[in-house]
């Protein structure tokens, strides 16, 4: 099979947005405790954070970190997590039926963000708490000094304000699994009132209203319309969440998961445009795709865990090469939608459906999903080019006919470099792709990185942490302004051109 791609400079090309390469840390299982924070670990720094994890987060190229949930935030009292550690309460975490010791809270997590060079994106609890607590948290976090709450932050060891720009107004309020779930009218009003109050403290905040928990929600589309009709003037983003998994051995459908993400983004963008017009607004609300990943829901590898215990394992999915390829293709979709999706967070960061795994007291290693994320974050720069891909389609049970190859490219005029990101969704066929470089002034291949394996279910584990790695030995040539490369079945590839 062959495919043809033509790259062209585009004066309207949207920028590559660094916030697209965000991640997410929830108080859940070993995400925080025995994950990024393990004071007794030999590589822990004086604050209890693992330096090997910090190094991997930097290598992953993460821009923002959404915190502290997720479902967890809907039962969270932020005050529990600040002040002297020995006075912090232990609470029931109703979302995950675990215990929360509060040994890590806002000030510690802000420190972790500083150590990893990431931007903190904070979620407020709009389920069991409301406007007052959101305002208190904002004042504690961002007000310089001279008020009881800001002086409390200073006394707690953070003299400088945390300067948090992006705030999530609750989490997945459309889902009945959520503590305090709501109807869209109810949530839309609450989001509007909370946002309006928060902007009285700082009108430049960037506030994210809760959108649908996935595109299969019964009120998907209607939820966004109603929430935006109530809150459009006060918020800056609306969220999308989506997780994908291979079901019933249908690898072909799974590899086409990004079709759903494409449709999700297009639908929400259309709803934003509709509400914008109906309100005669000048502003375009943007999309924050602030939870996305592969997640084998209903297949928890540690189902036997006891409830209400400390240090329980949860959602510790071990990812295959095929899962990594899907993550790469979801990044292709996110990049392609850079005109509407201004922020995104792969969920999550450490141990919990995560690209980084750790063993307590032992090593940290990269899952398969680490590689396309780190490479796309490193190589995507400048503006996004959206080439047309001419290729055959294949039939899928879940998504209809889907192109075998998907691709997106970036062009960085200042650096004089371009990158092309490609996925071959065929389960058994190689595809030879010719990429016409058109008017892009690049002439040579700077690097090629790809993820594929004869065993598409190969994984990295504690015993074999480097079983799967990126490959850089692909057969690729550039001749007369055309790059030719053969993509392996079930593969993700990045080509750097200079
Ligand atoms: O990331 C795991 C969970 O998935 C989050 O807590 C929730 O927001 C979503 O349903």
Q: Band the pLDDT of 310: cuts 50, 70, 90.
A: confident
- Residue 190: which pLDDT band, with cuts at 50, 70 and 90? very high
Residue range 280-302, pLDDT digits in tens? 999 999 999 999 999 999 877 67
Give the residue, by CA position, lying nearest to ligand 1 atom 1: 347
- Token readout for 317 is 């999915």
Cα–Cα distances (Å) from 179 to 40, 65, 182, 326, 360, in that order, read 33, 23, 9, 31, 31
Query: What's the CA gap between 86 and 489, in Å, rounded?
Result: 54
> What pLDDT sits at residue 298?
82
Alpha carbon distance 262, 334 (integer Å): 8
In terms of Cβ atoms closer than 10 Å to its own Cβ (0-12, 13-18, 19+), residue 135 is middle
Cα 399 to Cα 140, 296, 330, distances in angstroms: 47, 19, 15
Residue 305 has pLDDT above 90, yes or no: no
What is the average pLDDT score of the chain?
97
Nearest CA to ligand 1 atom 2: 70
- Cβ of 73 closer than 6 Å to ligand 1, yes or no, is no
Q: Which CATH number fits domain 17-379: 3.60.20.10, 3.20.20.80, 3.40.640.10, 3.20.20.140?
A: 3.20.20.80
pLDDT given for residue 301 in this prediction: 67
Which residue owns the Cα nearest ligand 1 atom 9? 70
**Ligand 1 in reach of 69 Cβ (< 6 A):** yes
Helices in 256-297 by DSSP H: which ranges? 258-278
Report the distance separating Cα 480 and Cα 183, nearest Å: 58
Per-domain residue ranges of the chain: 3-8+385-497, 17-379
- Please enumerate in sequence order all residues whose Cβ is within 8 A of that of 127, keeping only pairs 6 or more positions apart, or say none: 73, 74, 75, 170, 171, 173, 178, 179, 180, 181
- Per-residue pLDDT averaged across 437-466, rounded? 97
Q: How far is the CA of 71 from the centre of ligand 1 (A)?
A: 6
SS3 state at 455: coil
- Looking at 3.40.630.10, 3.50.50.60, 2.60.40.1180, 3.30.530.20, the CATH number of the domain 3-8+385-497 comes to 2.60.40.1180
CA 173/CA 116 separation, integer angstroms: 30
Residue 95 region by backbone torsions, left for phi larger than 0, else alpha for psi between -120 and 50, else beta? alpha
CA of 291, closest atom in ligand 1? 1
Spell out the residues 6+ positions from residue 248 whose beta carbon is closer than 8 angstroms to its own.
Answer: none
What pLDDT, on a 0 to 100 scale, did the predictor assign at position 114?
98
* Ligand 1 atom nearest to CA at 171: 8
Distance between CA atoms of residues 338 and 62, nearest Å = 17
How does residue 475 score in pLDDT terms, banded at 50, 70 and 90?
confident
Q: Which two tokens stand for residue 400?
A: 């209809």
* Beta strand extents in 152-191 (DSSP E only): 166-169
CB 105 near ligand 1, within 6 Å:
no
Which residues, other chains included, contact 298 with Cβ-Cβ below 8 Å and sequence gap of 6+? none
* Alpha-carbon torsion, ordered 210, 211, 215, 216, to 10 deg: 60
Longest CA span, the chain: 69
Q: How far does residue 143's CA lie from ligand 1's centre (Å)?
A: 30
pLDDT band for position 473 (50/70/90)? confident
Given a cut of 70, whether residue 416 has pLDDT beyond it is yes
Return the ∠ at Cα 144 (arms to 141 and 150), rounded to 5°.
55
Tens digit of each residue's pLDDT (9 = 90 or more) over 24-46? 999 999 999 999 999 999 999 99
* Closest alpha carbon to 478 in 421, 439, 419, 436: 436
Tokens 């700082």 belong to which residue? Answer: 202
Two tokens at 481? 């302004």
Helix axes 106-116, 131-142, angle to 10 degrees: 50
Nearest-angstrom CA–CA distance, 26 and 32: 7
Q: Is the CB of 212 under 6 A from ligand 1?
A: no
What token pair was written down for 101?
A: 């010791």
192 vs 382: CA distance, rounded Å: 34
In contact, 296 and 245? CB cutoff 8 Å: yes
pLDDT on residue 373? 99
| 304, pLDDT greater than 90 | no
Ligand 1 contact, 68 CB (< 6 A): no
Give the mutation target among 24, 68, 72, 171 for probing the ligand 1 site: most ligand atoms within 8 A of CB: 171
Centre of ligand 1 to C-alpha 242, Å, is: 9
Q: Is 102 a pocket residue for ligand 1 (Cβ < 6 Å)?
A: no
| pLDDT at residue number 244 | 98
What does the radius of gyration of the chain's CA atoms come to, in whole angstroms?
Answer: 22
Strands 476-479 and 482-487: antiparallel
CB 54, CB 97: distance < 8 Å: no
Pairing mode of beta strands 445-451, 491-497: antiparallel
Using the mean position of ligand 1's atoms as its centre, give its distance from the Cα of residue 69 in Å.
7
Asked if residue 446 lies in contact with residue 309, where contact means CB atoms within 8 angstroms, the answer is no
Lowest-confidence segment of 263-272, 321-330, 468-477 by average pLDDT: 468-477
**Mean pLDDT, residues 400-407:** 98
Give the residue from 353, 342, 351 showing the smallest Cα distance to 292: 353
Residues marked active site are found at: 172, 291
Q: How far is the CA of 214 from the centre of ligand 1 (A)?
A: 11
């Amino acid at each position: 099979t062959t495919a043809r791609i033509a790259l062209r400079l585009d004066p309207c090309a949207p920028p590559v947005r660094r916030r697209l390469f965000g991640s997410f840390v929830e108080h859940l299982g070993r995400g925080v405790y025995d994950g990024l924070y393990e004071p007794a670990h030999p590589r822990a720094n004086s604050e209890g954070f693992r330096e090997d994890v910090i190094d991997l987060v930097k290598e992953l190229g993460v821009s923002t970190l959404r915190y502290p949930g997720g479902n967890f935030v809907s039962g969270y009292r932020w005050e529990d997590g600040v002040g002297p550690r020995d006075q912090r309460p232990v609470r029931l975490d109703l979302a995950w039926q675990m215990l929360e010791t509060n040994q890590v809270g806002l000030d510690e997590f802000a420190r972790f963000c500083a150590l990893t060079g990431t931007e903190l994106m904070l979620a407020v609890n709009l389920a069991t708490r409301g406007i007052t607590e959101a305002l208190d948290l904002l004042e504690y976090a961002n007000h310089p000094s001279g008020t009881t709450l800001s002086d409390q932050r200073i006394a707690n060891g953070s003299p400088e304000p945390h300067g948090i720009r992006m705030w999530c107004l609750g989490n997945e309020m459309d889902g009945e699994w959520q503590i305090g779930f709501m109807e869209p009218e109810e949530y839309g009003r609450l989001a509007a009132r909370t946002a309006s109050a928060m902007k009285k403290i700082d009108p430049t905040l960037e506030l994210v209203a809760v959108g649908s928990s996935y595109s299969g929600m019964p009120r998907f589309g209607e939820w966004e319309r109603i929430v935006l009709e109530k809150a459009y003037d006060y918020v800056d983003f609306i969220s999308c969440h989506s997780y994908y998994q291979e079901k019933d051995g249908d690898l072909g459908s799974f590899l086409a998961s990004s079709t759903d993400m494409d449709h999700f983004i297009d639908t929400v963008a259309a709803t934003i445009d509709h509400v914008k017009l109906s309100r005669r607004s000048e502003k375009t609300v943007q999309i924050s795709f602030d939870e996305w990943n592969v997640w084998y829901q209903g297949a928890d590898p540690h189902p036997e865990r006891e409830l209400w215990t400390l240090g329980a394992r949860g959602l510790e999915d071990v990812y295959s090469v095929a899962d990594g390829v899907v993550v790469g293709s979801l990044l292709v979709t996110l990049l392609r939608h850079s005109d509407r999706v201004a922020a995104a967070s792969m969920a999550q960061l450490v141990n919990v459906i995560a690209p980084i795994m750790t063993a307590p007291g032992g090593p940290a290693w990269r899952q398969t999903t680490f590689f396309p994320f780190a490479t796309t974050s490193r190589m995507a720069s400048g503006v996004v080019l959206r080439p047309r891909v001419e290729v055959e389609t294949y039939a899928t049970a879940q998504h209809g006919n889907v192109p075998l190859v998907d691709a997106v490219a970036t062009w960085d005029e200042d650096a004089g470099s371009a990158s092309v990101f490609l996925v071959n969704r065929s389960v058994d066929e190689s595809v030879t792709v010719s990429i016409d470089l058109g008017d892009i002034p690049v002439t040579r291949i700077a690097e090629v990185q790809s993820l594929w394996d004869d065993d598409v279910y190969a994984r990295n584990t504690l015993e074999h942490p480097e079983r799967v790695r990126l490959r850089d030995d692909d057969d690729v040539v550039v001749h007369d302004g055309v790059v030719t490369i053969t993509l392996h079945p079930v593969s993700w590839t990045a080509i750097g051109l200079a």
